[in-house]
């Protein structure tokens, strides 16, 4: 059974009796596990290529079984994650401020990798300021800097990082197996195998706090978005909240948590190299009134200078794409994404 976190571990705006009680939230109730799971299921131990192709074409997301990650590693990683997030907010914030952001960084109030929550922390009391932030806090953990990370002076973070590195190695293995199978389906050549770069792999560890409110829905754990990655692999705890958009029927579907399975999303870079044959799935996260939610996402990208070529988009690198996304968020307040690179597109 999940223990109740101390309110002092939450960023101030997420605590009870704060302005957050006066705004609206998007609640999720308990998932009914007896209903049939709608997501396609792929068995990593013997990948069915036609079934995988159908999942990537029509869904852009699927559930992965027989992934080979030891169950004790998953449970230990979850326990370490809970312990880190349960630190008092001030201690947590100061602790991560002492660590270079290129090694391990803490964010809250936004899914981006910038501490946008600080605007709330510094004293804003306007309801609109809260509505512009997501009900989430998290850690960004690059996986290619393990030799450079010096966390021995922080025993809790040191142990957490060891588990993260072990888990990340499994994620790299899984991502490569899935990506190679997708390339076979797309009949892409050996040159495209270099598109997926394990050195870019990173983990984002999310905690979605309880929202302590019974008001009608308006605020999300994460707003509707697509991932910029090639592949995203998500490990959910037992608390529901993830929803995906099934484009064919224009409906939102709960991607409910099922033990010993992972959820694989396709991202924008996969859609681009597939010439739009595969879909970068839209998804969002609802908050929970009674429980916090923990999830761990693995993201992998092309190298910054790898040129993506297709008949649908003008040639661009992932660095070009990331720069454009950052510009659009700063200028327009939202990611525009792949449509910026469409041939003959005037945006």
Q: Write out the catalytic residue numbers.
A: 293
**Dist CA 27 CA 320 (whole Å):** 37
**Cα-to-chain-centroid distance, residue 307:** 24
**Dist CA 234 CA 298 (whole Å):** 6
Helices (H) and strands (E) in the chain, counts: 9, 16
> What tokens appear for 345 in the block?
């597109």
Closest CA to 231 of 193, 268, 194, 189: 268
Chain position carrying tokens 């709960």? 254
Which of helix, strand or coil describes residue 215? Answer: coil
- DSSP-derived secondary structure letter, 186: H
Instruction: Locate all alpha helices (DSSP H) within the chain, ordered by sequence.
Output: 49-58, 71-85, 89-97, 118-121, 127-131, 155-186, 190-193, 268-273, 318-332
Cβ pair 180, 188 in contact under 8 A: no
Cβ pair 244, 236 in contact under 8 A: no
């Amino acid at each position: 059974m999940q223990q109740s976190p101390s309110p002092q571990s939450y960023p101030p705006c997420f605590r009870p009796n704060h302005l957050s009680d006066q705004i609206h939230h998007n609640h999720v109730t308990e998932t009914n596990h007896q209903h049939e799971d709608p997501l396609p299921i792929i068995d990593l131990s013997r990948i069915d290529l036609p079934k995988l192709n159908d999942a990537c074409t029509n869904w852009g997301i699927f559930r992965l079984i027989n992934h080979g990650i030891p169950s004790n590693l998953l449970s230990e990683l979850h326990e370490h994650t809970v312990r880190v997030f349960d630190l008092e907010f001030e201690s947590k914030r100061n602790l991560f401020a002492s660590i270079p952001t290129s090694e391990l960084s803490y964010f809250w109030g936004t899914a981006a990798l910038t501490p946008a929550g600080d605007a709330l922390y510094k004293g804003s009391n306007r309801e609109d300021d809260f509505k512009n932030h997501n009900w989430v806090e998290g850690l960004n953990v690059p996986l290619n800097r393990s030799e450079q990370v010096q966390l021995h002076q922080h025993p809790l973070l040191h142990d957490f990082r060891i588990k993260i590195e072990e888990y990340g190695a499994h994620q790299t293995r899984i991502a490569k197996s899935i990506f190679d199978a997708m390339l076979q389906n797309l009949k892409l050549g050996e040159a495209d195998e270099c598109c997926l770069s394990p050195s870019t792999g990173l983990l984002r560890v999310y905690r979605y706090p309880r929202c302590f409110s019974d008001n009608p829905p308006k605020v999300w754990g994460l707003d509707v978005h697509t991932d910029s990655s090639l592949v995203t692999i998500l490990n959910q705890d037992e608390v529901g909240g993830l929803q995906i958009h099934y484009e064919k029927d224009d409906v939102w579907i709960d991607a409910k948590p099922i033990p010993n399975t992972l959820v694989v999303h396709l991202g924008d870079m996969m859609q681009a190299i597939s010439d739009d044959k595969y879909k970068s799935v839209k998804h969002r996260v609802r908050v929970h009134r009674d429980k916090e939610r923990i999830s761990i996402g693995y993201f992998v990208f092309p190298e910054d200078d790898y040129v993506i070529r297709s008949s649908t988009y003008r040639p661009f690198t992932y660095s070009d794409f990331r720069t454009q996304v950052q510009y659009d968020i700063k200028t327009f307040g939202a990611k525009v994404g792949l449509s910026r690179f469409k041939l003959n597109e005037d945006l």
